[in-house]
Structure 1
Amino acid sequence: MRERDWTNAAPEACDLIEAQGVTVRCLAPGGATLISGDLDAAVAVLAPGAPMIGLLEQIPDGPFALRIARDRALLCTQEPLDVSPGWHEIFALSPADDLYVPFEIAGEEAEALRNSCMSAQAGSLSAMTLFGGKECLVTRARTAIRVWIPRSETAELWTRLRVLSGV
């Protein structure tokens, strides 16, 4: 059972992988609220004007929602929202500030690294896809690629990205 002993530590905010042509940075998660049900109504109440983001779409500087499924999204904000969890007539809310850890992949080899981790291409309304064999949310952030990785998978994917980067 030693193969289940994962000895690599999960990355912390500001941890960095630097390799020729690519940089991977672990970012601080900020605020996140999981929404289920009527996504448009929930976003209108919690972050009016925040766009719904799909696979490899550009995220704005302000609040935005990452579509996970037809009736689920992750609302991302600068700081955690002060909301009551549970059912709110037509949508449900769950605090998710520690559910995902964002990684940012930048540099001239960022696309090559992304392509080695996922086969999906832009165009899906959902930002959810397999990245390194794990269900992650993948977008663009200016000239970089942003990947929201489930917290429980960060150590494994960080190690995989180090290996693929040649570090």
Structure 2
Amino acid sequence: MLETMRDRGKFWTPAPGLSARIERNDFSAGFVTGLQQVLISGDLDKAAAAIAPSAREVGLWGLAEGTQTWVRFARDRALLVSTASLEIAPGWRDGYVATPCDDGYAVIDLSGPALPEVVAEATSADLEAGSPSAAILFAGVTALLYRSNPRTARLHVESPLAAYLWRWLEERK
């Protein structure tokens, strides 16, 4: 039976390499590598106190500060993002669970003078109103959206959806 199954993989858009870049006069996009990402579910206050007490929380369109950031996307779920190595063992402890997921989310930085227009095309959210949750529908897929500096937006999207989102960014006029 397996011998007669067709290879459907050739119909999917191939994932871009992590060194892929989009460079235009008014807009650029590129993958961010080297970040540590840990999904935390459960009691976020206990997790923050135990794992990364100095990390700051960021919500929708908020500005991340420091080397560690809590990116909240539900009342009981956040992504701890760090530029430094995190030595967090996976599993349950004291009301929360930690799941290292460095490869679970692709991270894309967007910048340039057309950044407001790109974001406006991709989402209908009122970014100026903000939200404690960074979760948003961006070009039709769930992503986490905040700013890594005042002029750069950062998207975390589940890795299997990165090829679609990259293609959307490439085809944007």
Larger radius of gyration: 2
Q: Secondary structure at the match of 2:67?
A: coil
- Whether 1:144 aligns to 2:157 is no
CA distance in structure 2 between the partners assigned to 1:29 and 1:99 by the alignment: 13
Cα 1:29/1:158, change in 2 over 3 Å: farther
Unaligned runs of 5+ in 2: 1-5
- Whether 1:5 aligns to 2:8 is no
Give 1:4 deviation, angstroms.
8.2
- Whether 1:112 aligns to 2:120 is no
AA at the equivalent of 2:99? S
Q: Which runs of 4+ in 1 moved over 6 A?
A: 1-4
Give 1:49 deviation, angstroms.
1.6
TM-score of the pair, normalised by structure 1: 0.91
Cα 1:79/1:5, change in 2 over 3 Å: farther
TM-score of the pair, normalised by structure 2: 0.88
- What is aligned with 2:165? 157
The structure with higher relative contact order (CA 8 Å, sep 6+) is 1
- What is aligned with 1:97? 102
CA distance in structure 2 between the partners assigned to 1:3 and 1:117 by the alignment: 27
Contact 2:59/2:131 (<8 A) preserved: yes
CA distance in structure 2 between the partners assigned to 1:121 and 1:128 by the alignment: 13
AA at the equivalent of 1:70? R
- What is aligned with 2:75? 70
Matched pairs, number = 164
Contact 2:91/2:98 (<8 A) preserved: yes
Contact 1:101/1:150 (<8 A) preserved: yes
CA RMSD of aligned residues (A): 1.8
Cα 1:136/1:29, change in 2 over 3 Å: farther
CA distance in structure 2 between the partners assigned to 1:29 and 1:133 by the alignment: 26
Unaligned runs of 5+ in 1: none
